Amino acid sequence: MITLKKLGFSLVVTAGLLSACSSPAEQADKGGGEGSGAAPVFADVSVHDPSVIKVKDTYYVFGSHLASAKSKDLMSWTQISDGVADGNPLIPNVTTELSETLGWAQSDTLWAPDVIQLADGKFYMYYNACRGDSPLSAMGIAVADNIEGPYKNKGIILKSGMDGVSDDGTVYNANEQPNVVDPDVLFDKNGELWMVYGSYSGGIFVLKLDPETGKPLKSQGYGKKVLGGYHARIEGSYMLYSPETDYYYLFLSFGGLTADGGYNIRVARSKSPDGPFTDAQGQDMINAQGTPGVLFDDPAYAPYGVKLMGNFEFQPADGETGMSSEGYVSPGHNSAYYDEDTGKYYLIFHTRFPGRGEEHEVRVHQMFMNDKGWPVVAPHRYAGETIGDYTEEDAAGSYTMINHGKVISAETVESEIIELKKDGTVTGAVSGTWSLKDGHNAVITIDGTKYDGVFLRQWDEGTQSHVMTFTVQSEEGVSIWGSHVK
């Protein structure tokens, strides 16, 4: 049976049981669905660039530096491995097994991998290494009978950064050809196998693979470029097909991954795995690229893509004594998963945190498709909630609001207070109107701009209680979040 997939700093952190400080009445989900009752239990791990695969009843994430973890509920995670050193259970003799790759890349570590199960029942890990200060990289395949390893090397499939003739027969040019890292491998709706990959350098590329061997089909070179180039800070591509909308969604990370790099998650979509991909404004993502002669020209490509989240911090509202702020710094390099049984979409990513430097952990947020067929991300981490049917009375009230904007910036967006009044108006930090339809669909208009999304009852770690939230998005690709003031 084929397991359906899609549809470095190392720090292990274990979070204890969260205490419930709200009353049963406050925790009750008035709108129905899950997300009520006792406080959820989280156990956190560090896996940079987590790529997800579900095997039977367990979710696995694989990331840079040969790190991995697993969970049955996407909330409590157990670390499996970490560190490119002999003895790592994924590749026990990694320094010799992947010596050719590490030698080519002049590196002692591995970058973001991806794991998929093919028709032979075996698990194929697409590993990669990169020098880092140049696109001198190699990508290969290692295969295992068990998802947790051990994986045996089957050889390199792509190289980049060479001084001379490249894999597609031309002289390698880092402005136009890819850095062969950050692979994501997926089956399309017709059973064809594809890989999307690339980071900075010449952009993001898509290759067609042989579904039996997992290797690239012949005569493709590096494949088809779908966006980026001229060292645009765009990487971490991940593709998810939605049977609900019949679109392929290409998730991307813009900016730099460090705490001061302004990493942020964006998305574009296409009817085909090899594009063309467009954003909510209809802009072709092939034009999202840097400027020749200018290194990391962020303003040139910042207008492209639907921005799902960047740096933010929910601050306690006046009167919320004893509450803590909650937020992320440089969230990014995500994967995504669609559960055909429940219809739930999940966004899985690593993030850093305000005031905690380069320390990072895995986070999972639920996603929903809005009326325009674009994913919107729930404001708080996934805690087992299921969207319910709510009333205007449930939705009305004061919210701390985050406007993620479109810029690529290391600045952290701090929440502002708004009120969704019972008469359908929005007051406070912004002005406008709001409405609730079909039980949970949200329409909020601010300063003449319409935002579409959903209301959702969630667990708020900052207030240690269940609160109403909203997540909405404009056709300009701007996302706004709200979390009810307790």
Residue from 332, 246, 181 nearest 7 by CA: 246
Say how far apart CA 63 and CA 181 lie, in whole Å: 12
**Chain CA centroid to CA 55, Å:** 20
| Contact indicator for 375, 31 with CB cutoff of 8 Å | no
Q: Quick one: tokens of 434? A: 């709001």
Residue from 50, 31, 56, 76 nearest 332 by CA: 50
SS (HEC) of 133-162: CCCCEEEEEEEECCCCCCCEEEEEEEEECC
**3 state DSSP class of 407:** coil
Question: First CA to last CA across the chain, in angstroms?
Answer: 47
Residue with tokens 């190392």: 10
Say how far apart CA 220 and CA 365 lie, in whole Å: 36
Say how far apart CA 91 and CA 239 lie, in whole Å: 26
Say how far apart CA 404 and CA 193 lie, in whole Å: 34
Q: Which of 44, 114, 182, 235 is catalytic?
A: 235
Task: Locate the DSSP E strands across 162-256.
Answer: 184-187, 193-197, 204-209, 224-227, 234-242, 247-254
Q: Quick one: tokens of 283? A: 């802009």
* Dihedral angle of Cα 476, 479, 482, 483, to the nearest 10 degrees: 170
Active site residue 411: no
**3 state DSSP class of 392:** helix
**Chain CA centroid to CA 237, Å:** 9
**3 state DSSP class of 433:** strand
| Contact indicator for 113, 129 with CB cutoff of 8 Å | no
CA atoms within 13 A on the CB side of 226: 33
Active site residue 452: no
Say how far apart CA 161 and CA 143 lie, in whole Å: 26
The type of residue at 14 is T
The type of residue at 432 is G
**3 state DSSP class of 410:** coil
Q: Which of 49, 114, 167, 361 is catalytic?
A: 49
Residue from 400, 405, 384 nearest 477 by CA: 405
Active-site residues, by number, are 49, 235
